[in-house]
A and B are shown apart, each in its own frame.
Chain A
Amino acid sequence: MEFEKLILILIGASITNNFVLTYFLGICPFIGVSSKIDSAIGLGIATTFVMTLAATVTWLIYYYILVPFNLVFLQYVTFIIVIASLVQFVEMFIRKTSPPLYKALGIFLPLITTNCAILGLTLFMVLRDYNFLESIIFGLGAGVGFTLALVIMAGIREELKFADVPEPLKGAGITLIIAGLLALAFMGFGGIISSG
């Protein structure tokens, strides 16, 4: 039963209730870093890492510091501190290990801090009363979903270079239309699981 629930959370967070295409969270990097598959995968992995870690750390802080001391009203501030520190850490780590990826991601790497998908994740986690293991899986699923959306988008946009796009729609216009179509396509998953 427990295992089944974990699988449901994973699939729910990554596909049926995809953060980008269903909740429309994290649209900025979704449009900004989806022009090349390589950097999309890089940002996807970085975001997944931050999401999983953020879910883990915020769960611990929420249930072992905030709830016992009656400080739940400080959750937003606390979560943002956690996310910002994690992003700083990931930034340093990527800069050290993979300078080309660091360059390709550019400004979008520090901007993971303000990616609302991550704050959204931590708040959903609290709202839905997930336990520790569920939270980790939820973070992982959300990250995988984010990566999936980003990579699909990047793949389409790479092919788009060969397409004959009408002049006024070139650039941002056609990208937003594709994002809308992708969101419609993901609605098709909506009926698979009722809870996510």
Chain B
Amino acid sequence: MDNLILISILSMTGLGIFFAAVLAFAYKKLKVEDDPLVDEAVHILPGTNCGGCGYLSCHDFAEHLASGEEEDPGKCRVMTEEHREQLFQLLGKEEPASYPVIPLVHCAALDENKKPQAEYKGLRTCRAANLDFGGGMECEYGCMGFGDCCWVCPFDALHMIDGLPKVDIEKCTGCGKCAEACPRGVITMQEKKKDKIFYVACSSHDAALRVRKICGVGCIACGICEKLSPKGFFKITDDLSRANFDNQKDPEEVKPIAKKCPTKVIKEI
């Protein structure tokens, strides 16, 4: 019996050493020189592999940066300021002015505002509920509140509070996973160029009467915001007002107009 154990150990060790030797030899013969730039870039990148840049992993992104296929190192939204500078320096590129990117939730209906049309007993995810007639919610545009966006967030920056996702600006890095996860496109990513921007917290293309009946806190496309802003802060298309962030140069100008909204659906962030 002892003999058997000894033989097993010896033969396995022998095999292991043999294959290790073959691989070591092959490694020497078939070595591929990695670009040292890739290694350095990988060290600077955050390593969260969130995919916000559009590549598979931080390493993949670094490879594309090093080979010159990807020209914009700023695509990584997760880096700290300091690392950002280092990366631009490493690649010998000018750093453009950058603004934080934040998710905007285009819905204002809290739990108490959402009118049900049926009881939903299916999977408790937005994706499933959206396939199943919107999880029993009357409004077919707004947030269903199952929180897919919250659990895809790699940084714990979104939390479902009273049926709406609340963004924790401190934690948010602007990677855009939440916007991707929302099956109804309620969340969009927006560069925040001023310290305050105003957006319309509604996605409903329904007519005014229906919005008032099923929600009460949605955009009724009354046109007040558009009429009051000659500089084009807001624009109404398909029964829905949308903010034009490029025109919102001075937050103080926009604020009084936002206050005039009859359903108070223009929010500042």
CA distance A93 to B32 in the complex (A): 10
Closest to B16 in A: A81
Question: Would A89 and B26 be within 8 Å (CB), given that A71-B7, A71-B8 are in contact?
Answer: yes
Task: Give Cα distance in the complex from A61 to B19, angstroms.
Answer: 12
What's the Cα separation between A180 and B166 when bound, in Å?
44
Confirm or deny: A191 has a beta carbon within 8 angstroms of a beta carbon on chain B. no
- B119-131 CB mask vs A (1 if < 8 Å, else 0) is 0000000000001
Do B26 and A78 touch (CB < 8 A)? no
| A71 and B23 form a contact (CB under 8 A) | no
Q: Which residues of B contact A89 (CB under 8 A)?
A: 22-23, 26
* A75-128 with Cβ < 8 A to chain B: 77-78, 81-82, 85, 88-89, 92-93, 95-96, 99, 106
Chain A residue at minimum C-beta to C-beta distance from B63: A103
Asked whether A96 and B19 contact (CB < 8 A) given A65-B11, A71-B11, the answer is no
Report the tally of A-B residue pairs with Cβ distances under 8 A: 44
Interface size class of A (residues with CB under 8 A): 20 to 34
B23 and A96 contact, CB distance less than 8 A: no
Whether B32 and A74, one on each chain, are in contact in the complex, defined by CB atoms closer than 8 angstroms, is no
Give the residue of B12, B23, B30, B131 whose beta carbon is less than 8 angstroms from that of A78: B12
Q: Which of B4, B11, B30 contacts A92 (CB 8 A)?
A: B30
Question: Does B90 have its Cβ within 8 Å of any Cβ on chain A?
Answer: no
A71 partner residues in chain B, CB cutoff 8 A: 4, 7-8, 11
Contact B32 A96 (CB under 8 A): yes
Query: A194 an interface residue at 8 Å Cβ cutoff?
Result: no
Which B residues are CB-close (under 8 A) to A99? 32
Query: Is the pair B7, A88 in contact by a Cβ cutoff of 8 Å?
Result: no
* Closest B residue to A106 using CB positions: B56
Contact with A along B1-35 (1 / 0, CB 8 A): 00010011001100110010011001100111000
Q: How far is the CB of A49 from chain B (nearest CB, A)?
A: 14
- B16 surroundings in chain A (CB, below 8 A): 81
- Take A69-B11, A74-B8 as given contacts and tell me if A92 and B26 are in contact as well, using a CB distance cutoff of 8 Å: yes
**Alpha-carbon distance between A106 and B60 when the two chains are bound, in angstroms:** 11
CB distance from A93 to the nearest CB of B (A): 6
Asked whether, in the complex, the Cβ of A88 is within 8 Å of the Cβ of B23, the reply is yes
Tell whether, in the assembled complex, residue A81 and residue B11 are in contact, meaning their CB atoms are under 8 Å apart. no
**Is the pair A85, B19 in contact by a Cβ cutoff of 8 Å?**
yes
Known: A65-B11, A69-B11. A81 touches B19 (CB 8 A): yes
Provide the residues of chain B in CB contact with A70, threshold 8 Å.
Answer: 4, 7
Per CB-CB distance, the 4 closest pairs between chain A and chain B, nearest first, are A85-B19, A96-B30, A92-B30, A69-B7
Interface residues of B (CB under 8 A from A): 4, 7-8, 11-12, 15-16, 19, 22-23, 26-27, 30-32, 56, 131
